[in-house]
Amino acid sequence: QKEVEQNSGPLSVPEGAIASLNCTYSDRGSQSFFWYRQYSGKSPELIMFIYSNGDKEDGRFTAQLNKASQYVSLLIRDSQPSDSATYLCAVSRNTDKLIFGTGTRLQVFP
Amino acid sequence: DVKVTQSSRYLVKRTGEKVFLECVQDMDHENMFWYRQDPGLGLRLIYFSYDVKMKEKGDIPEGYSVSREKKERFSLILESASTNQTSMYLCASSFLLRDSGGYTFGSGTRLTVV
């Protein structure tokens, strides 16, 4: 079992819709959870991080964490073609090392 | 803004060459990391460092070494480049994750070994 699992996609959504990206992790001791966006040929950039169960909102982005189910998700409201990218989920214990999933490719079509 | 600078965007090297990839950060971060990224395999940790002259192996350290002589600089060394080391190499830095909210990545070095 992979430590951090994501569906590779592509996830295709129409412009203006909500995109829902999901991630599961195997280590129950995980404490910190991150979402990165990576455009083709570019390096990952941090979108959000979440530490506590529940929802965290930042503009059009909402991160959701459920530690009991070992599940973290990212919702993108009002999706735009510029949101088309690969989204990486990353998880950490109380160390500073991040374990990354392989990413979900999102395509937003006009 | 935190800046992490990788010295080369693209590199082409021959099999058996010794290769140096340089990474410099300007925000006084303690932690620095080297990852490689390959299609279908995602980001895999090669080495990391929490302090000057300190290094720890990641998940795939074989064939690589690192050097951290100054806090701002973390170098990745391919002792004898092989074709299976053709990859995108990403450097990252951070303070303690819980306070900083994660890594800042450099722009990456795409290395091709022929």
- Rounded to an integer, the average pLDDT of B72-100 is 89
pLDDT the model gives residue B101: 63
In the predicted structure, residue A21 carries a pLDDT above the cut 80: yes
> A10: cis peptide before it, omega within 30°?
yes
**Tokens 């998940």 found at:** B59
pLDDT the model gives residue A55: 95
Q: Give A64 to chain B, closest Cα distance, Å.
A: 16
**Chain B interface includes A96 (CB < 8 A):** yes
Contact B90, B106 (CB under 8 A): yes
Distance CA A110, CA A14 (A): 6
- Rounded to an integer, the average pLDDT of A22-47 is 93
Distance CA A84, CA A94 (A): 32
Give the model's confidence band at B53: pLDDT under 50 very low, under 70 low, under 90 confident, else very high. Answer: confident
- Rounded to an integer, the average pLDDT of A82-86 is 97
Contact B11, B111 (CB under 8 A): yes
Give the model's confidence band at B27: pLDDT under 50 very low, under 70 low, under 90 confident, else very high. Answer: confident
Q: CA–CA distance from A32 to each of A60, A100, B4 (Å)?
A: 21, 12, 22
Q: Give A76 to chain B, closest Cα distance, Å.
A: 19
